[in-house]
Amino acid sequence: MGQAGRNDVNSAALWWAGPLTVAVSVLLVFATRAAAFALLDLPAEFPPLTYGGLAFFTVMLVGLGVLVFVGCVMWSARPIVIYRRIAFAALALSMLPDLWLPGNVPGATWPAAFVLMVAHVAAWLPTMFVLTNPALIEKRA
């Protein structure tokens, strides 16, 4: 299979691929948090590392990413390539606020900031390997 173009994407597949991407992202972020708390001494009360905070921001931002992908499918001749570039740029930009946290936000430590950055990658991975997987979203001949 080649690179999917706009006319090659099965729009019906997006109805399940989008929610699957969000669900897998949340699970990976929660697994990242659980592993980090098992391995590191992290502040449990630090709001960005609570399950509620992680769930809210993961669902909202990955959900927004799904909508951006739908937009790419609708308006781009090469939606997967374009979306992957947008998603990588968004991932890189999402790291910047985490670098500012230690020393500026109460309870923020460098290990906590690092865990947040790893959680960003955990949320991003399904957008690359589930949402944009040509085997899942391309129309069958």
Residues 61, 67: Cα–Cα separation, whole Å: 10
Residues 73, 83: Cα–Cα separation, whole Å: 9
Q: What pLDDT digit, counting tens, does each position of 64-75 carry?
A: 999 999 999 889
Q: What pLDDT digit, counting tens, does each position of 7-65 carry?
A: 667 777 888 889 999 999 999 999 999 999 999 988 877 888 999 999 999 999 999 99
Residues 61, 122: Cα–Cα separation, whole Å: 13
Residues 124, 47: Cα–Cα separation, whole Å: 20
Which is more confidently placed, 4 or 103? 103
Instruction: Based on DSSP, count helices (H) and strands (E) in the chain, helices before strands.
Output: 5, 0
Region class of 102: left (phi > 0), else alpha (psi between -120 and 50), else beta? beta
**Packing angle of the helix pair 51-75, 79-100 (nearest 10 deg):** 150
94 pLDDT exceeds 50?
yes
Residues 64, 61: Cα–Cα separation, whole Å: 5
Residues 35, 56: Cα–Cα separation, whole Å: 19
